[in-house]
A and B are shown apart, each in its own frame.
Chain A
Amino acid sequence: DVVMTQSPLSLPVTLGQSASISCRSSQSLVNRDGNTFLNWFQQRPGQSPRRLIYKVSKRDSGVPDRFSGSGSGTDFTLQISRVEAEDVGVYYCMQGTHWPPYTFGQGTKLEIK
């Protein structure tokens, strides 16, 4: 199974500053059709996960453009610009290219300094 490794696991950020979360996969996530099925989810305290980004960089409807995804192959990044209080929570990457199974990163806990 593909192992997803996130860093950092804890991310204290000052309001209004930027945050960056790294996600690395143990194998390339490029599918034979050329697509890369890498997703990002946000889980706010006490809530269920919510998808933010799919196919590396495609933002879901309603997701602020402060959130952006990038990367290729085995290295991916979720960037949050101008962090707001509502961004507090845990962020997970998940690969779908080598499904089954879907595999998640360990999660990165974003908190406000």
Chain B
Amino acid sequence: DVQLVESGGGLVQPGGSLRLSCGASGFTFSSYWMSWVRQAPGKGLEWVADINQDGSKKYYVDSVKGRFTISRDNAKNSVYLEMSSLRAEDTAIYYCATDPPCGSDCYTLDFWGQGILVTVSS
């Protein structure tokens, strides 16, 4: 079974930094794009970032460009989200999700982790 487990969340002051991790198992990690999606308290879903299989291609939502960096370590089956210059509006549950290679499905997010809460507050 596919498992995605996020870690590294917590309370951080405005302007601070945090690194989220997502450990993956149950599938061939190195064959998948990986995504981060966030959900502010009581709000909807917002895609944050994507990284391709070898880490050479990265895409971000405009609101985090220049502040967040997505990366991965295929040897550790892990994807990361380095967040800096954090703002109150970055407060959210952050989910990692699998973005499958084009085959039977594509341009989708098929499995999600349980999420990790990031709170930006003084």
Measured CB to CB, the residues of A under 8 A from B are 31, 35, 37, 39, 41, 43, 48-51, 54-55, 58, 60, 90, 92, 94, 96-97, 99-107
Contacts and interface: CB of A to CB of B under 8 A. Distances in A.
Given A37-B107, A39-B108, A58-B105, A104 B113 contact: no
A94 B37 CA distance: 12
B11 interface: no
Interface in B98-116: 105-115
A43 to B, nearest CB: 8
B106 A35 contact: yes
A92 B110 contact: no
Interface stretch (B17-25, B44-52, B72-80, B81-89): B44-52
B29 interface: no
Given A41-B45, A49-B45, A58-B105, 8 more contacts: A39-B109, A43-B45, A48-B113, A48-B114, A51-B109, A60-B110, A100-B60, A104-B45
Nearest to B115: A48
A37 B106 contact: yes
B27 interface: no
A67 B18 CA distance: 39
Contacts, number: 68
B59 A101 contact: yes
A43 B44 CA distance: 10
A106 B46 CA distance: 10
Contact of B112 (A49, A54, A97): A49
Contact of B110 (A51, A102, A105): A51
Q: Return the 7 tightest CB-CB contacts between A and B, nearest first.
A: A96-B107, A37-B107, A100-B59, A102-B47, A104-B45, A48-B112, A107-B44
**B60, B61, B95, B106 — which one has the most chain A CB atoms within 10 A of its CB?**
B106
B63 to A, nearest CB: 10
Nearest to B35: A102
Contacts of A90: 44
